Every structure is written in structure tokens, then in C-alpha cells.
Amino acid sequence: MLKVCKFGGTSMANAENFGKVKSIITAENERKFVVVSAPGKRDKSDIKITDLLYKCYDDVISIGSCHDTFKLIRDRFTEIVKDLGLNFDIESVLDETEKGIDAEKTTPDFAASRGEYLSARVMAEYLGYTFVDAADLIRFDSNGNLNAVYTDDKIKTKLSGIENVVIPGFYGKDSFGKIKTFSRGGSDVTGSIIAKGVSADLYENWTDVSGFLVCDPRIVPEAQIIDTLSYSELRELSYMGASVLHAEAIFPLITSKIPINIRNTFRPQDKGTMIVPTEHGYNPDKVITGIAGKKNFSVISIEKSLMNNEVGFIRKVLSVVEHYGLCVEHVPSGIDTLSVILSSEELKNGVLDDVVREIRESVAPDYIHVIENVALIATVGHGMARRSGTASKIFTALAEANVNIKMIDQGSSEQNIIIGVAGSDYEKCIRTIYNAFFGA
């Protein structure tokens, strides 16, 4: 049994947590490949190293040097090395890193990646494992997407024959050889890529919660742990905002069907959540698996009598959206109505007004209006397709809680029901759905 273990930000936050990581790794000699994140917050008021590194880049652009902000990073790593009692010249590595950040003025990626780089250097030293740089393994293509074939090949050649390796998460190199990062939380993706590359039997993702919970514990503190989740349920939940695992972390694992086990570094005795290939993930007794959501969407709602008879109507509306390079989140439709749901973030700086004007010109609707500050909430579960009454249970509970539903969309796979509510009802809506299915 070969395991790849990824440790997240809280697991790397200070020397004490490094100690917990070491006991987990040494408890089983199957844990041969370790992927680490940058140190996260030590407490609620702390700042993540990655956030400080983005600030370093901004400082370089605005005042020409990251020296002052980098001092905070320097102090964190120096303290960790000192508290671990390591005889490791971290100062030279930090000097070189600071120089590198000062010199890179085109993108923040190099700066942002250094938290993982430094964390992996220290962890390798502490475990007595070999450090292998992700820059030598992970490659992006000229469109910025992962070059999966090249990367897999590199991992196979560079890591074959070596065991007990520490690899920094979150970054690789682009096609010009420059450091490029994944999106935030991307060390989860690195873990998956390494697990596939070394043909691991299991990818353990160690974090600060005892598994994937039915919903965000910051909204429902008593949320139950999901024992088994399928790849596709995970995809729906993480895309819709369940931030425990990066939404793209399953892609590298799909063909080789490697399961992911979410575990808690601070409660290693808990068995956590198993995320398994979809065909192995169906539990017929469970109606819904999880609830997740995101805030800050805009709904452009279009009405036109006999819209359904007008050939090309939907295409014309979506062409306008495409013309502005916007990603469509959902397109719920009725006979004479069509709504387009978009992330409000992408509609800033006058884009929304331009899109509405062009839709007006393109399809001459009877009525067009925009609802802002909408939250989307997905209730996810394979079991839904085989049970009737799930939707009515959700809607009855929300009606009793006085939550006004602005939009409903159900995927054709019948494994999710997505509803739109006012942003101010977001937390209440999640709590209400949770109580309807999991409450006492």
C-alpha cells in the first residue's frame, strides 16, 4: 500500500504542528510521499504566509522592495526552525528567496509559491526526507492548463526509485520555465497529481477538520461528517463552495480511480471521509450527501412572450455573455422567461450595464431586470434520483423558515438541486436544509 499525504496550512502553522505531522508520517511506513502547503494561521487573527507573499509582490510593484513584509515571513520560518531544534541554515534560503521576490516584477506567482517552497525545505530537513522541487515535476502548457502528460512522465522519471520525499504544493513551471501557481488552495491538486504519478493506492489529505462535513462547520458547527462521498458529489460540493478540498483535485485521479481520504492532523484517530470513484460511492440509504453554497451572484432575468418559438433566442443571449468572456453559472428557463446567473465579481466596472444593453439590442425582450446579491445553494446526493419528495422537503422547510426562493435549478443527473436566495438568507437557508435532513 503506497500513500501520498498532503498537509494543509494549519498543519504547517508552527513547530508544534510540524511535530504532529511527523508523528503521523512515521506512524506508517506506507506514507512515503509528502506534499505540504505554506504555513497557515496560528490563530484567528493571524495572517497566512501565502497572503503575506502576495503582499510582498504588491510591495515590489509599488515601492520596489518587499523587505518589510518579508520580515514577517522570515520571522515565522526562523522561529519554526529554531523551535524544531534543526541545524539548518534557513537564513541563506530566506535571503535568496527575498532577492528572488524583489527581482520578479511580471506576475505574483513566484512570490506566492515561496511559502510552499520554504515549508517543504524545512519539513524535508525535519523528517530527514529528500526535497524534490515541484518546479521540476509539474508543467503547465502555453494556455496555463496543466500539461498532464509531460507532468506524469516527469514524476515517473524523477521520483522512480526514491522514497521518502517532500514536495511543495501549489506550483509548477509554465511553458517558458517560469514559476506558475494553481488557484488558491491548489496544494490539494498537487497532492492528486503526485498520487497519480507515483500510482499511489491512497491519497491522504490531512487538514484541520475530521472529514468532509455535510455543510460548512462555520455555519452549522454540529454538522455531521460524511463517511463516503463519490467523486461527482465531491465535485458538485467543492465547486459550490465546500472549501475543504480544491474543486479540481479529483481530475488527476479519475482514470486511476485513486481514493482520497480527508483526515484531521489534530485528531489522527478519526477515520475521516473517503472520497471514492462515483460507481463505488452510492449509498442507497442516503438521500442527500451534502449542502454547499456561494454568495455574490447576479441574475439577469429576461421575459418575452413566445420566446420559446423564436429560433436562436437562447443562443443570442448567451452570445452576448460569451462576447464579454463571462462564465455562465446557470440558465434556468420557463416558456417565456430566461435567467442567466453570473458571478457578480465578473460584472464590475460597468460590465453588467453593457451586457444588459447588448441583450436588449440583440433580442428585444418585453422586460429585463437584474437581481443582485444572490446566493446559490446546492443540495447534493446520488440518492435523490431514486427518492421522491426531496425537493418538496427542501421547499417546505424553507417556506416555514420564511426564506424566499428566487431561483430553482435541478441538474439532469438529478444529483443536485440548486436554489437562489437573497445573500442575507444564505446562512439561514443552509441551516434550514441541514435541519430538515439531519436535524434531531
The binding site for Mg ion (CB under 5 A) comprises 8, 185
- Cβ closest to Mg ion, residue 7 vs residue 297: 7
420 binds ligand ASP (CB under 6 A): no
CA–CA distance, 314 with 311 (Å, rounded to integer):
8
List the one residue from 32, 48, 74, 294 that touches ligand ASP (CB under 6 A): 48
Q: How many CB atoms lie within 10 A of CB 286?
A: 16
Q: Is 25 helix (H, G, I), strand (E, B) or coil?
A: helix
- Closest approach, Cβ 439 to ligand ADP, in A, equals 17
Can residue 234 be called a binding residue for ligand ADP (CB under 6 A)? Answer: no
- Shortest Å, Cβ 12 to ligand ADP: 8
Which is closer to ligand ASP, CB of 184 or CB of 304? 184
Size of residue set near ligand ADP by CB under 6 A: 18
Q: Using CB under 6 A, which residues numbered 24 to 63 contact ligand ADP?
A: 37, 40
The secondary structure element, H or E, covering residue 367 is strand 367-380
d(CA 216, CA 243): 8
CB contact at 8 A, 226 and 381: no
Residue 43 zone, left/alpha/beta (φ > 0; ψ -120 to 50; rest): beta
Q: CA-CA distance, 265 to 207, in Å (whole number)?
A: 6
**Contacting ligand ADP (CB under 6 A), which of 168, 185, 191, 381?**
185
Binding map of ligand ASP across residues 173-192, x = CB under 6 A, - = no contact: -----------xxxxx----
Among 65, 243, 319, 344, indicate the residue that binds ligand ADP (CB under 6 A): 243
Residue 192 or 432: which CB sits closer to ligand ASP? 192
**Window 140-179: contact mask with ligand ASP (x via CB under 6 A):** -----------------------------xx---------
| Near ligand ADP by CB under 6 A: residue from 73, 120, 244, 338 | 244
Cβ neighbours around 131 below 10 Å, total: 16
By CB under 6 A, tell whether 376 contacts ligand ADP.
no
**Which residues, 6 or more positions from 288, have their beta carbon under 8 angstroms from its beta carbon?**
379, 380, 381, 383, 384, 390, 437
Which cell is 201 given? 493506492
Residue 434 binds: one of ligand ASP, ligand ADP, Mg ion, none (C-beta under 5 to 8 A by kind): none
CA 337 to chain centre: 33
Cα 2 vs. chain centroid, distance in angstroms?
25
> Do β-strands 171-173 and 179-181 pair in parallel, antiparallel, or remain unpaired?
antiparallel
* CA separation for the pair 258, 19 (Å, rounded): 28
With CB atoms as reference, the residue minimizing the distance to ligand ADP is 8
Phi-psi region at 296: left, alpha or beta (left = phi > 0; alpha = psi -120 to 50): left
213 binds ligand ADP (CB under 6 A): yes
215 is a site residue for ligand ADP (CB under 6 A): yes
Using alpha carbons only, what angle is made at residue 375 by residues 373 and 379, rounded to the nearest 5 degrees?
Answer: 170
Determine if 39 is a binding residue for ligand ASP (CB under 6 A).
Answer: no
Residues in contact with ligand ADP by the rule CB under 6 A: 8-10, 37, 40, 185, 207-209, 212-213, 215-218, 242-244
In the complex, the residues that contact ligand ASP under the rule CB under 6 A are 9, 37-38, 48, 50, 115, 169-170, 184-188
